[in-house]
């Protein structure tokens, strides 16, 4: 923050350093190993009195001078130039901490230069013994130069005790000094062999070419075992946290680890091929190919090492953006722009938000990210996010991506950065206006209490059935609503009828659900059984007969989607039910909404827009991006699988039952992963994914609790609490990933008391946790209290007689009577409006006469049933 930042735009993101540094380091290692190669090869030529080999050494020495002194010198200066401009704070620390170390290294480098020029220019001018001595002096100075640089470079990865005492020797002889020195020494010898192969294969004498090619190949083959052993030693001395970061928690590093593993046998195989007799026309291009492979080999290693210290430039001391770890809390409190000496802005206003956001990007992000460049292009990385979702991403990204430092700055600065990246670079906007929702007009059926003998009660098992309209790529919940019904014969003692026939029919415009979604077409590719066009996953037609079970009638997974027409969204189709006796006489008719929605907010973070009416449905780009992120973070091949016509069903891996799976259940995975990004948002975190926003297109929370002001968090807790309970159960099931997800949440939000393990769908908040003994609640929150199993869920519970289901009188979950949203009051309360001309739970306000033909004085169904409805 004390230095101006050189903004390179497309050339940024460390590109210049990467290009210059890898090339320079490759040459620098050649400068060490190549010196040993020269003197030992000259010694061999002298012992064998081999003039052709001596001529090879002479030519190789000239080549060596050009590569190491010219290319090496230029790139060495280039490194200093670029790091001083791109990360001056870290450069300053290295210079001030190791000033005498640098001075010693430069002395050795000067000796290298002088010795090498003397060596290369005095063939046949000095006696062999003296000439070899000059070569040994050069190699010794080169290796000692490596010795000094190794200590300084290793310090950046593992500063060790220097963090506590600031001592030069503690930083220099850091924990990785000796294994790194051995590793680099053997690496230098390998590279010397690769360069030797190039000059050897260009020899015009076939005999000497074959001899020197085999000789150079031995320089790679013989020390290779020691090189790998030193590599394992190097890895073993890394702190456990670093090893986990590099080899487990950083997916971006995995490809370079794989590259390092891949090139090891490639180099060995290539050298073995050159060791056999090969014509020059083949050996020369192969030698050059191996030289390039060696450069990539070195690049993989350097990226792993550099990536290993992220998010720091000096591990645990200075972040990659140049901010000291000890200063981060103060800067976050007081403001990044306030502390940045060269910033144009000290505060953020509506007028400068975009420009200030760019300034924050320059200060915090440009050391690693480019703009439209080939390395870590921030435009491409942020293009899928809206400003609000990117703001959440930035806030929690360091928990999921360990290479990212935490955001350092105020909330206003973070929002400005998100605005610049999402809107300024990509033109993405949040939805700021609610969709225009017209009230859905319908009339309840007429009920004559003096003549009608039956009351037909019906409800949806789910207050809202949501499914991801993301096929043909993936699906984790299929279209299909379950509806239940009970038929009551009115009388002094009402009777639940068990032998009736109940027919159902979905609203006519919804009866061809496959017309506007590809679900059934794609399902034919995934599932093993076949079915007619538009037939559901497991469910029946859009009309049919309900199944009777001891007084309860139901039909499961009715095929219905919220698209009555092309580019039209209606989450509340109507379902009409008719009860008949065995003779076919009509006994009762009622209509209920069949709630279904595809309004999942994934596109806020995963790109694309709403596919249907700008309100709901997945675009294919959104679905594909989700699979791409999964592949990146979990090392899967889901994009490839989907591209082969095999849609991904999430529960194939993330099943609810834990007995036969190695992955967390879907609920724990989804909530556990997203908690670190969204838990700050309270109930808005729920609406970011679920169709629960009061300004959304579905407004699924339409029951009495929502009407009186209660929110998701009153029952389910905030997202962190909700997720930790799910993760705790998965930890108990022995799934280690749950522990990692929990750790992220705890690090971000602190320890959360009263964590209660729970399984999804069976352990849920319950009415009676607040309404103890059916009385008025004494609290509006009962966090971490759950039902015991599926049978004790509200939707499965009956009254004290065991005959009448609670939902028959009170309505569906999340839609308890009286329910209301922008689609109107009538739509959501059709059953109570039909039978008692008011939208209250059945029998409310002494309305027992709906079913009981005599006035009731005793509480029949549950305590406190005789009274006035409280929340009017």
Question: How far is residue 468's CA from residue 630's CA, in Å, rounded to a whole number?
Answer: 16
Taking all residues of the chain, what is their mean pLDDT, rounded to a whole number? 90
Choose among 720, 797, 788: nearest CA to 751: 720
Residue 340 sits at φ, ψ, to 5 deg, of -85, 115
pLDDT at residue 659, as a whole number: 64
Structure confidence at residue 443 (pLDDT): 94
The answer on pLDDT for 532 being more than 60 is no
Among residues 318, 347, 369, which one ends one of the domains?
A: 318
pLDDT at position 176 is: 95
| 259 inside domain | yes
For 654-676, b/e burial (b = at least 16 CB within 10 A) is beeebeebebbbbbbbbbbbbbb
pLDDT(678) > 90: yes
Q: Please state, in angstroms and rounded to a whole number, the distance separating the CA atoms of residues 710 and 15.
A: 52
Least-confidence region, from 88-92, 116-120, 583-587, 856-860: 856-860
The answer to whether 69 and 116 are in contact (CB under 8 A) is: yes
User: What does the alpha-carbon distance between residue 12 and residue 19 come to, in Å, rounded to a whole number?
Assistant: 11
Give residue 272's pLDDT. Answer: 85
Per-residue confidence at 279, pLDDT binned at 50, 70, 90?
low
Averaged pLDDT for residues 636-649: 89
Q: Which two tokens stand for residue 444?
A: 């309840």
Spatial distance between the Cα atoms of 53 and 48, rounded to a whole number of angstroms: 9
- 126 and 265 inside one domain: yes
What pLDDT is attached to residue 529? 40
pLDDT at 524 over 60: no
Least confident among 101-105, 230-234, 406-410, 771-775: 771-775
pLDDT of residue 528: 42
pLDDT in tens, 462-482: 889 998 888 888 888 888 889
**pLDDT of the residue at 533:** 37
Does position 527 have pLDDT exceeding 70, yes or no? no
Q: Which band of pLDDT confidence, cut at 50, 70 and 90, is reported for residue 530? A: very low
What is the distance between the alpha carbons of residues 436 and 439, in angstroms, rounded to a whole number? 10
Q: Are 755 and 728 in contact (CB under 8 A)?
A: yes
Residue 123 lies in a domain: yes
Q: 287-331, pLDDT tens digit by residue? A: 899 999 999 999 999 888 888 888 999 999 999 999 999 999 999
Q: Rounded to an integer, what distance in angstroms lies between the CA atom of residue 752 and that of residue 726?
A: 13
Backbone angles phi, psi at 41, to 5 degrees: -70, -40
Q: How many of the other CB atoms lie within 10 Å of CB of 411? A: 12
| Ramachandran region, residue 3 (left: φ > 0; alpha: ψ -120 to 50; beta: rest) | beta
The helix or strand, by DSSP H or E, that contains position 552, with its residue range, turns out to be: strand 552-558
726 occurs within a structural domain: no
Whether residues 296 and 397 share a domain: the answer is no
Mean pLDDT of 666-694: 93
Question: Which pLDDT score, from 0 to 100, does residue 306 have?
Answer: 85
261 lies in the same domain as 341 = no
Q: With bands split at pLDDT 50, 70 and 90, how would you rate the model's confidence at 1?
A: low
Rounded (5°) CA angle 48-53-57: 125
Write out pLDDT tens, residues 585-637.
999 999 999 999 999 999 999 999 999 998 999 999 999 999 999 998 888 99
Tens-place pLDDT, residues 188-213: 999 999 999 999 888 777 788 888 88
Show Cβ contacts of residue 255 under 8 Å, excluding neighbours closer than 6 positions: none
Q: Tell me whether residue 446 is in a domain.
A: no
Element (DSSP H or E) covering residue 138:
helix 128-157
What CA–CA distance (Å, rounded) separates 431 from 273? Answer: 62
* pLDDT above 90: residue 522: no
pLDDT above 90 (res 648) = no
Provide the CATH number for the domain around residue 355: 1.10.760
Q: Tell me: the pLDDT tens digits for 11-53? A: 877 788 888 889 999 999 999 999 999 999 999 999 999 999 9
Helix axes 128-157, 88-97, angle to 10 degrees: 120
How far, in Å, CA of 272 to CA of 431, rounded?
Answer: 62
In this prediction, residue 538 carries a pLDDT of: 47
Which residues have CB under 8 Å from 380's CB, separation 6+? none
- Greater confidence (141 vs 662) lies with 141
> Which residues on adjacent β-strands are paired with residue 455?
488
In this model, does residue 644 exceed pLDDT 90?
A: no
Q: Are residues 136 and 28 in the same domain?
A: yes
Q: Spell out the residues 6+ positions from residue 466 whose beta carbon is closer than 8 angstroms to its own.
A: 477, 596, 597, 598, 599, 600, 690, 691, 700
Please name which of 503, 485, 488, 486 lies closest in space to residue 452, comparing C-alpha atoms.
488
For residue 276, the domain's CATH number is 1.20.1630
Task: Look at residue 255 in the predicted model and tell me its pLDDT.
Answer: 84
Q: Do 381 and 314 reside in the same domain of the chain?
A: no
Same domain (yes/no): 270, 371: no
Residues 184, 84, single domain; the answer is yes
342 and 401 housed in the same domain: yes
Say if 229 falls within a structural domain. Answer: yes
Residues 95 and 61 in one domain: yes
Q: What are the CA-CA distances from residue 474 to residues 357, 465, 516, 624, 832 (Å)? A: 36, 18, 17, 9, 39
Specify the pLDDT at position 868: 75
Domain boundary among 318, 337, 355: 318
Pairing, β 501-506 against β 495-497: unpaired
Phi, psi values for residue 709, rounded to 5°: 105, 0
Query: In terms of domains, do 403 and 371 share one?
Result: yes
- More confident call, 651 vs 66: 66
Residue 805 has pLDDT above 90, yes or no: yes
Claim to verify: residue 310 and residue 370 sit in the same structural domain: no
**Would 616 be classed as within a structural domain?**
no
CA-closest candidate to residue 488, choices 867, 796, 848, 811? 848
- Give the residue-averaged pLDDT of 173-202: 94
Number of domains in the chain: 2
- pLDDT per residue over 716-742, tens digit each? 999 999 999 999 999 999 998 999 999
Whether the per-residue pLDDT at 82 is higher than 50: the answer is: yes
% of the chain beyond a pLDDT of 70:
96
Count the Cβ atoms, other than its own, within 10 Å of residue 204. Answer: 7
Share of the chain above pLDDT 90, in %: 64
Domain boundary among 268, 291, 318: 318
CA distance 155 to 318: 12
Whole domain around residue 382: which residue ranges? 323-425
pLDDT at 719: 94
Is pLDDT at 362 greater than 70 in this prediction? yes
pTM: 0.88
* Statement to judge: residues 25 and 106 lie in one domain: yes
pLDDT exceeds cutoff 90 at 109 = yes
Q: Which pLDDT does position 253 carry in this prediction?
A: 82
Distance, CA of 803 to CA of 701 (rounded, Å)? 28
In angstroms, what is the C-alpha Rg of the chain?
A: 36
Give mean pLDDT, residues 117-133: 94
Tokens for 174? 């850091």
Mean pLDDT along residues 531-541:
48
DSSP designation for 324: B
- Burial of residue 166 (number of CB atoms within 10 Å: 0-12, 13-18, 19+): exposed
The highest-confidence range among 337-341, 474-478, 503-507, by mean pLDDT, is 503-507
State how far the Cα of 495 lies from the Cα of 492, in Å rounded to an integer. 9
């Amino acid at each position: 923050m004390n230095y101006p930042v050189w903004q390179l735009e497309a050339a940024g993101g460390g590109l210049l350093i990467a290009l210059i540094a890898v090339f320079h380091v490759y040459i620098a290692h050649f400068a060490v190993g190549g010196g040993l190669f020269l003197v030992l090869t000259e010694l061999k030529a002298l012992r064998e009195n081999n003039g052709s080999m001596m001529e090879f050494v002479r030519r190789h020495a000239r080549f060596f001078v050009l590569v190491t002194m010219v290319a090496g010198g230029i790139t060495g200066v280039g490194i200093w130039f670029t790091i001083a401009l791109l990360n001056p704070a870290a450069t300053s620390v290295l210079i001030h901490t190791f000033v005498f170390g640098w001075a010693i290294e430069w002395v050795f480098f000067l000796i290298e230069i002088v010795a090498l020029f003397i060596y290369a220019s005095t063939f046949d001018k000095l006696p062999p013994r003296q000439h070899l001595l000059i070569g040994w002096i050069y190699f010794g100075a080169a290796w000692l130069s490596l010795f000094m640089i190794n200590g300084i470079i290793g310090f950046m990865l593992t500063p060790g005790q220097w963090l506590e005492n600031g001592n030069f020797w503690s930083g220099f002889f850091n924990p990785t000094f000796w294994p790194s020195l051995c590793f680099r020494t053997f690496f230098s010898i390998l590279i010397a062999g690769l360069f030797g192969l190039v000059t050897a294969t260009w020899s015009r004498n076939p005999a000497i070419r074959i001899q020197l090619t085999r000789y150079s190949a031995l320089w790679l083959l013989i020390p290779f075992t020691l090189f790998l052993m030193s590599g394992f030693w190097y890895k073993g001395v890394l702190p456990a946290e670093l090893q986990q970061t590099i080899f487990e928690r950083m997916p971006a590093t995995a490809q370079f680890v794989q590259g390092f593993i891949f090139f090891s046998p490639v180099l060995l195989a290539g050298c073995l091929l050159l060791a056999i007799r090969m014509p020059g026309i083949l050996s020369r291009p192969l030698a050059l190919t191996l030289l390039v492979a060696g450069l990539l080999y070195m690049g993989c290693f350097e990226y792993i090492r550099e990536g290993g210290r992220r998010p720091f430039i000096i591990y645990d001391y200075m972040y990659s953006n140049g901010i000291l770890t000890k200063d981060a809390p103060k800067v976050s409190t007081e403001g990044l722009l306030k502390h940045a000496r060269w910033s144009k802005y000290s505060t953020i206003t509506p007028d400068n938000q975009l420009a200030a956001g760019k300034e924050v990007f320059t200060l915090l992000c440009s050391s690693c990210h480019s703009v439209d460049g080939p390395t870590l292009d921030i435009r491409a990385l942020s293009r899928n996010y809206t400003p609000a979702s990117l703001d959440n991403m930035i806030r929690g990204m360091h928990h999921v991506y360990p290479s990212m430092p935490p955001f350092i700055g105020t909330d206003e600065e973070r929002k400005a950065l998100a605005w610049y990246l999402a809107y300024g670079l990509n033109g993405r906007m949040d939805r700021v206006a609610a969709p225009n929702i017209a009230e859905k007009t319908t009339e309840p059926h007429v009920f004559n209490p003096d003549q009608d003998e039956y009351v037909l009660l019906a409800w949806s098992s789910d207050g809202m059935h949501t499914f991801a309209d993301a096929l043909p790529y993936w699906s984790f919940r299929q279209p299909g609503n379950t509806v239940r019904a009970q038929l009551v014969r009115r009388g002094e003692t009402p009777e639940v009828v068990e032998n009736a026939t109940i027919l159902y029919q979905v609203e006519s415009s919804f009866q061809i659900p496959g017309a506007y979604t590809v679900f059934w077409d794609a399902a034919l590719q995934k599932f093993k059984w076949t079915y007619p066009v538009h037939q559901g996953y497991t469910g029946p037609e859009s009309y049919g007969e309900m199944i009777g079970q001891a007084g309860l009638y139901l039909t499961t997974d009715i095929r219905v989607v919220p698209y009555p027409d092309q580019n039209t969204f209606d989450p509340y189709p109507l379902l009409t039910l008719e009860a008949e006796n065995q003779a076919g006489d009509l006994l009762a008719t009622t209509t209920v909404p069949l709630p279904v929605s595809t309004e999942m907010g994934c596109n806020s973070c995963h790109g694309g827009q709403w596919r249907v009416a700008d309100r709901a449905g997945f675009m294919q780009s959104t679905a594909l991006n989700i699979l791409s992120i999964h592949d990146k973070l979990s090392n899967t091949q889901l994009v490839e699988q989907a591209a082969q016509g095999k849609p991904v069903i999430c529960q194939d891996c993330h099943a609810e039952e834990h007995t036969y799976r190695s992955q967390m259940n879907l609920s724990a995975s989804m909530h556990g992963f997203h908690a670190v990004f969204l838990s700050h948002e309270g109930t808005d975190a729920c609406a970011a994914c679920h169709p629960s926003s009061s300004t959304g297109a579905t407004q699924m929370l339409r029951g009495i609790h929502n009407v009186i002001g209660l929110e998701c968090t009153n029952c389910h807790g905030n997202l962190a609490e909700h997720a930790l309970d799910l993760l705790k159960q998965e930890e108990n099931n022995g799934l280690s990933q749950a522990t990692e997800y929990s750790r992220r949440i705890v690090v971000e939000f602190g320890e959360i008391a009263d964590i209660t393990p729970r399984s999804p769908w069976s352990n849920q908040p319950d009415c009676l946790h607040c309404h103890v003994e059916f009385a008025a609640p004494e609290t509006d929150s009962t966090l971490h209290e759950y039902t015991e199993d599926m049978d004790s869920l509200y939707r499965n519970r009956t009254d004290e007689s065991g005959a009448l289901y609670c939902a028959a009188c009170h309505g569906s979950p999340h839609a308890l009577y009286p329910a209301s949203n922008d689609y109107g009051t009538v739509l959501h309360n059709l059953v109570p409006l039909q039978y008692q001309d008011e939208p209250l739970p059945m029998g409310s306000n002494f309305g027992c006469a709906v079913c009981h033909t005599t006035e009731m004085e005793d509480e029949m169904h549950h305590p406190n049933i005789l009274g006035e409805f409280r929340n009017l």
